[in-house]
Amino acid sequence: MNIILLGAPGAGKGTQAVKIAEKYKIPHISTGDILRKNIKDGTPIGLKAKAYIDKGALVPDEVVIEIVKNRLNEADCKNGYLLDGFPRTVPQAVSLDEFAKIDIVFNIDIDLNILVDRLSGRRVCASCGATYHVTSYSSEICSQCNGNIIQRNDDMPETVRARLKTYTLQTQPLISYYADKNILVNIDGNTSIDKVFEDIVEVLKR
């Protein structure tokens, strides 16, 4: 099964992706995680991407398309994969259609007003990328790998607002793009992490 998770910044794509990938044993491919790894490693892609990410803008289409195209060619994607944060523009979706066959697109639908709280309270592990929220996790040490818990640079309120604007202008049109292909399923993202996951699993059972 080849799956896409769509949704605004903070909708819970990464949180759900980890659970789906674990249950269905498919690779979780997050362009955001791949770009952040490149920034951390100081690669040419990372150097290019950083300026865009820090201001809440999208990295140019050709850069992310190339990343995903190469990643989907790897052996572990043969039996399905989960795309988190890609595609994010109509040109990315059109390009993806040329090299992949997507079975289902989950749109995690969420009230945009709660996103600033979710994102400004998000904390991540600098080593393994595990995601937490300050309301439910106050330690500075990751429970999965003992790494340091940090706040993402782009989770500062100013950048969060820019990301939401970018989402509305450039990514939201993908909802109708996939609805027109009859592969879009809307999931209520305003409920608990477990309930969102249950709703996704229910659809995948069918």
Give the range of 14-22, 150-158, 177-185, 193-201 binding Mg ion by CB under 5 A: 14-22
- And the tokens for 201? 């699993």
- 127 and 142 Cβ atoms separated by less than 8 Å: yes
Of the residues 6, 26, 196, 200, which one makes contact with ligand AP5 according to CB under 6 A: 196
129 binds, among ligand AP5, Mg ion, none (CB under 5 to 8 A by kind): none
Say whether 206 is catalytic: no
Backbone region of residue 93 per phi and psi (left: phi > 0; alpha: psi in -120 to 50; beta: other values): alpha
Say whether 161 is catalytic: no
Q: What is the crossing angle of helices 31-41 and 61-72, to 10°?
A: 100
Using the rule CB under 6 A, is 86 a contact of ligand AP5? yes
Name the active-site residue from 36, 88, 118, 123: 88
- 70 and 88 Cβ atoms separated by less than 8 Å: no
- Reported for 172-178, long-range contacts at CB under 8 A and 24+ positions apart, including other chains, are 173/90, 174/6, 174/87, 174/88, 174/89, 174/90, 174/93, 175/6, 175/107, 177/90, 177/93, 178/4, 178/6, 178/93, 178/102, 178/105, 178/107
Using the rule CB under 6 A, is 85 a contact of ligand AP5? yes
Q: In DSSP terms, which residues pair with 133 in a beta bridge?
A: 122
Using the rule CB under 5 A, is 10 a contact of Mg ion? no
- And the tokens for 2? 């080849």
Using the rule CB under 5 A, is 12 a contact of Mg ion? no
Per-residue contact flags (x/-) with ligand AP5 for residues 95 to 134, judged by CB under 6 A? -----------------------xx-xx--------xxx-
CB closer to Mg ion out of 14 and 87:
14
Give the range of 7-15, 73-81, 120-128, 181-189 binding Mg ion by CB under 5 A: 7-15
Task: Report the run of H or E that residue 84 belongs to, with start and end.
Answer: strand 81-84
> The tokens 């330690």 sit on which residue?
139
Residues that bind Mg ion (CB under 5 A): 14
Residues that bind ligand AP5 (CB under 6 A): 7, 9-15, 30-32, 35, 52-53, 56-59, 64, 85-88, 92, 118-119, 121-122, 131-133, 154, 163, 192-193, 196
Catalytic residues: 13, 88, 122, 152, 163
